[in-house]
Structure 1
Amino acid sequence: MADEVEQALRRVRSGTTARKLETSTLDFKQASGKLKDTLVNLSEAAVCFANATGGTLVLGVADDIAGPAGIVGTSMDPDTVRHGIYERTTPSLDVVVTRLTFEGVDLLRVDVPEGIEVVSTSTGRYCWRRGTDCPPMTAEDVGRLREERRGEDWSSRSSRVAAGVADPSALVRVRELLQAVPTDGATALRASDDRELLSGLGLLTARGRLSNAGVVLLGRREASAQPEIVYQHRKAASGEADTILHLHGPLLVAMQRLLEAIELRLTATPLNLTGGQQLQVQDFPMAAVREAVMNAVAHGDHRTGRPIQVEHSPDWLTITSPGPLVAGVTPENILRHPHRARFRSLFGALRHLGLVEQVGLGVDRMYREMLRVGRNPPRITEDRDQVSVTFVSDQPNMRVARYVNQLGPERRDDLDVLLILAVLRRRRSVAASAVASVIQRSLDDTQALLRRLAEGEAAVLEPTQGTAHRRQPNYRLRGPVLAELGSAVAYHRAPSDERDRKIVEHVQEYGSINNRTVQNLFDVDVHRGSAILRELVERGVVIRTSEQTRGNAVRYSPGPEFPVSARRRRER
């Protein structure tokens, strides 16, 4: 965090207001006129961080003043601040306060650890850090966080429901899943009777009752019960739903029906790779969708009684689970935060069934499946009531898919590499400070990664000439990488005038052109080829002249706005 604080202070000095630089783990404060007011303000901010993932307060920086004048400094004593926060929090927070001098101005840095217990101010106010805000916590928020921090597991508690209430269809599904798990233990469980099966999965209590996890995954449901999952499909993103499924019954069975409903409505785009390989790219990669569904099942707060909601259209697919992210996990650190299960017993049963991994690689896989074919990663959002994962059905990019496919397995599967490539497809160069938040690593780790990707024969990056001498240079894609990615790079596309010239010359010589020819001329995929031809038709440069209306073979000939000189040369 030391580099992040120093980097932020430099940006304040250079003209950015401190408020714009605050993050979920960094906050700037200015001393009030009265010592007591300052300590109350700092104590509330410390409580806010302690009930989230911890963070750093910097005292002596104005929120809304840019430039050197924004670094106002402070004369407060570190021990006064440390004791003031200790006395004004319950249980008392022991923060680390150090003096920090920036360009001759004295500041205080307050490092707040993540709380072991839920923390409040001495006046009983509970709050937590959400993005850059510090909203109050509800009684439900406090109770949930207290259970998670004490290691209490609701899913392992007795539901007081007899083991015989397990749904037969769910038990059949359990045995189907165990058949695909290649361990002796799974084979033995599959062959055991129902009671031994439930016990082996950790879904029975010592008194032979189903645990809450057992009821969630396998328990029978009344016909009038709330559905476990609600699925809506629309043929257009803003249209009426043409399919609404209320999936009742055990969650394990409802989940399988959901995945079948989604996969039934997916379409695939063929991408031709090097070496004659062909890749079928779905609207939404099913591997990524499956991981998002499993995350909703494994980490959703099933105590709320609210269903998992899925909205599906050709343009986007959103999976929303009840409850916030597990304590300590945020959208800004979800790729790097150590795996933490909300309900250990429930998660353990899913792991035995081969549906989740102990190390929690699901989010990484969601990102990787989208980035490998040139799409944007999923968007993860959270509020206190729910978590949503949204996939956007961007067109797959053939150039990116080809390039990633020919990388060695280490880099092809390296999420950091894929994220950096995605950034540099949009920006000519980046420094570690611009990439760190994207890959969710520290500045030092990000700088080391960029340096590693610029070394050796297989280097994909290089420092820009004007910044190579800096401690944190700007990096750009190397020439050979740019050449391979071609039109997949936003700033590397052929100018429209040059593109028009090539198309006009082809039509002059051959009388017409089709999509397949456009793809070959500019090395673009079928969708980009269609867009180029559609633009030329709208401008009147060409018109469709074949009876065929769809496909690569549709032919286009000179239109009313086709260059006159070119038309005359062709007529001669």
Structure 2
Amino acid sequence: MATQGFGSQHETIILDALKKIEQGATADSVESEFLEFKEDRAHDPQAKNSRADLIEKVIDEVVCFANSDHAWGYVVIGVADKVPGREAFTGTDMDETDVRDKVFARTKPNLRVEVEPLVFAEKRLLIVTIPEALTLYTRAKGQASKRVGTRCVPLSQEERQAIVYARANPDYMAKNSTHTVEEISLDVVNEARRLLANRRKASGIDPAVPETARGLLRELGLINQNERLRKAADILLLPPPPPLITVRHLWRPFPGADPHVTEIAEPIISALPHIQRLIARYSEQDVKRVRLDGGQEIAIPRLPKEAVDEIITNALVHRDWLSSQPIVVDQSPRVLKVWSPGSLPVGVDKDRLLTTQSVPRNATLMAAMRALGLVEESSRGFDRVWASMIRTGRDVPEVDVTDVSVEVIIPSGTPDTDFVAALLRFDEEFGEMMNSVNVLIVLWHLWEAPIITEKQVMEKTQTAKTEAKELMAALCEYGLTQQIRDAREWVLSEKSRRIMGKTEGKTLASVSIGEWLLSQLSDGASISAAEAAEEIGVDRKEITEHLRYLRTLGRARIDPHGPQRGSATRWIAGS
């Protein structure tokens, strides 16, 4: 076996994969976030335009690797991807200069790859090396994708902008570490190996992971092309230097009481499950039990595990690691508060937590944690927190944001067990659509309030007007809500009211807010905006806007015998 022209830079990634193929594996089973194989079928008489098609596929893969979280990779030309053993090595006679020039000419901005030959199993292969990318790359006509696992996923405009911004503002986590691979403990390496294998197996990928620590770290993107550890490896796999700590946990048996303090000075890979176990230990008692229609009971935990895990993980991933301050978890039987240093990631607004695709502050760290299954592939996380809280009959979290910190507060409170039971009946009736956090938000509002307006839908789901309108149109189409004639207002459908057990009591199904206000005024009542807002369940400003509109029609006026401005103002029928 010869490896002519094969540099040491490639040996540990490519040569190991080639050996596995030679020993009986298929190329597609050893592909990774860094490695792709392509067959050259130019000598196959049944493969028309195969060389031109191959060049296009190679360019697609190059762009895909360049836009990945790791921003580099390798394409090996001359290997069939589904043939095991030595027969997989079909070889290629493509000219390395021609491949390099075509990639350069057909990418924007022009991407200069390295292309060199390799003789393996007596066949000539080509190794295309994508250097670490410094910006977003596209095909000449603008097409762009991103390597996720072993797939190329098309990029949305929002994702393209995020890549451009992130690479214009280099990730601190991608910088070189002063530590070495040998400093990482064997227990930590084995835990990372276990997590990666489980993640790969769950994704339907060959669960085999690199046998060496260096190979494992390379697959996680924690070693750069110069074989140096990245800063992300320090945070994820090494304990903080004394006296720094990773997480401080405060347990208060009663709100405001002196806390019992636990300090965790561990790498994230062990600190995350440690703090999760600690929170669970202090909240292990069920708050309430819900009896279903058939007599079966389900337990409602004191704190929803999914919400807690998302908040803790977000704090670790998105915090400002340039700060020496730890994450602080302040827990009592009634409230959990998670404080982390650093403001929200770039592009995220407090009022758009559910809908904004953020630019990760620590992209390299996040990519490694994603590969280990410690964070989700593509979700903001807050949507699952909201859904988990509503599904257990609780209000959504409070988020306090400053220029230097983010604090998320979730209440244990007293879960609304009637609402939880109603949701289970909705699940049986409507199925998959009940997994939508937006549907849950609307139902949670209408559980307490008789009506929801377009403005409220936008504010509560954090969506734009068009998206809110389409959401409510879908809910009406599926029979969960009904629109009040031509008003941009909705109420529960009769079917939903039966499911919720709201067969009695007030309903505004037949009138809009404006009509309800007008009927009250026509009956001789005086109305304050605050009282009407509480009665209907909408914002006081919306009530005031309706009353002002009725005033322009001569149907309402401010009571001349009371305050003319302020919250004490009362309205009466127009003269």
Question: What CA distance in whole angstroms lies between the structure 2 residues aligned with 1:449 and 1:332?
Answer: 19
- Once the two structures are TM-superposed, the CA of residue 351 in structure 1 deviates from its matched residue by 0.7
Alignment correspondent of 2:527: none
1:373 aligns with 2:392: yes
- Once the two structures are TM-superposed, the CA of residue 384 in structure 1 deviates from its matched residue by 0.9
Deviates more, 1:373-382 or 1:479-488: 479-488
Question: What CA distance in whole angstroms lies between the structure 2 residues aligned with 1:373 and 1:490?
Answer: 24
Matches within 5 A, 1:74-153: 148=166, 150-153=168-171
Alignment correspondent of 1:174: 192
1:445 aligns with 2:463: no
Task: Give the direction of change, closer, same or farther, for the CA distance of 1:372–1:489 in structure 2 (3 Å limit).
Answer: farther
Question: What CA distance in whole angstroms lies between the structure 1 residues aligned with 2:486 and 2:324?
Answer: 58
Matches within 5 A, 1:131-530: 148=166, 150-181=168-199, 182=201, 183=203, 187-189=207-209, 192-222=211-241, 224-241=242-259, 243-266=260-283, 267-268=285-286, 269-407=288-426, 408-455=430-477, 458-464=478-484, 468-470=485-487, 472=488, 474-486=489-501
Question: What CA distance in whole angstroms lies between the structure 2 residues aligned with 1:297 and 1:186?
Answer: 29
Root-mean-square deviation (CA), in Å?
A: 2.6
Question: What CA distance in whole angstroms lies between the structure 1 residues aligned with 2:380 and 2:297?
Answer: 27
Deviates more, 1:243-252 or 1:478-487: 478-487
Of all paired residues, the percent bearing the same amino acid is: 24
- Contact 2:399/2:409 (8 A) holds in 1: yes
Question: What CA distance in whole angstroms lies between the structure 2 residues aligned with 1:316 and 1:429?
Answer: 30
- Once the two structures are TM-superposed, the CA of residue 151 in structure 1 deviates from its matched residue by 4.1
Question: What CA distance in whole angstroms lies between the structure 2 residues aligned with 1:370 and 1:185?
Answer: 33
- Contact 2:345/2:358 (8 A) holds in 1: no
TM-score by length of 1: 0.56
**Count of residue correspondences:** 339
Question: What CA distance in whole angstroms lies between the structure 2 residues aligned with 1:419 and 1:392?
Answer: 17
- Contact 1:295/1:362 (8 A) holds in 2: yes
Question: What CA distance in whole angstroms lies between the structure 2 residues aligned with 1:186 and 1:341?
Answer: 28
- Contact 1:339/1:360 (8 A) holds in 2: no
- Once the two structures are TM-superposed, the CA of residue 342 in structure 1 deviates from its matched residue by 1.5
Alignment correspondent of 1:550: none
Task: Give the direction of change, closer, same or farther, for the CA distance of 1:184–1:358 in structure 2 (3 Å limit).
Answer: closer
Q: Which 5+ residue runs of structure 2 have no aligned equivalent?
A: 1-134, 136-163, 508-575
Question: What CA distance in whole angstroms lies between the structure 1 residues aligned with 2:176 and 2:414?
Answer: 48
TM-score by length of 2: 0.55
Secondary structure of the corresponding residue to residue 316 of structure 2: helix
Question: What CA distance in whole angstroms lies between the structure 2 residues aligned with 1:490 and 1:372?
Answer: 24
- Contact 2:239/2:265 (8 A) holds in 1: no
Q: In structure 2, give the amino acid aligned to 1:217.
A: L
Alignment correspondent of 1:137: none
- Once the two structures are TM-superposed, the CA of residue 426 in structure 1 deviates from its matched residue by 2.7
Cα displacement string for residues 349-372 of structure 1 (whole angstroms, at most 9, x for unaligned residues): 001101112212421111111111
Alignment correspondent of 1:541: none
Q: Which 5+ residue runs of structure 1 have no aligned equivalent?
A: 1-115, 117-145, 493-572
- Contact 2:400/2:408 (8 A) holds in 1: yes
Secondary structure of the corresponding residue to residue 380 of structure 1: strand
Task: Give the direction of change, closer, same or farther, for the CA distance of 1:236–1:488 in structure 2 (3 Å limit).
Answer: farther
- Contact 2:395/2:411 (8 A) holds in 1: yes
Question: What CA distance in whole angstroms lies between the structure 2 residues aligned with 1:440 and 1:428?
Answer: 21
Q: In structure 2, give the amino acid aligned to 1:406.
A: R
Alignment correspondent of 2:106: none
Secondary structure of the corresponding residue to residue 187 of structure 1: coil
Q: In structure 2, give the amino acid aligned to 1:258.
A: I
Question: What CA distance in whole angstroms lies between the structure 2 residues aligned with 1:228 and 1:397?
Answer: 35
Cα displacement string for residues 155-197 of structure 1 (whole angstroms, at most 9, x for unaligned residues): 11101211111133322321332242215767222x5121111
Question: What CA distance in whole angstroms lies between the structure 1 residues aligned with 2:280 and 2:472?
Answer: 38
- Contact 1:227/1:248 (8 A) holds in 2: yes
- Contact 2:244/2:265 (8 A) holds in 1: yes
Task: Give the direction of change, closer, same or farther, for the CA distance of 1:351–1:305 in structure 2 (3 Å limit).
Answer: same
- Once the two structures are TM-superposed, the CA of residue 375 in structure 1 deviates from its matched residue by 0.9
Question: What CA distance in whole angstroms lies between the structure 1 residues aligned with 2:186 and 2:294?
Answer: 48
- Contact 2:479/2:495 (8 A) holds in 1: no
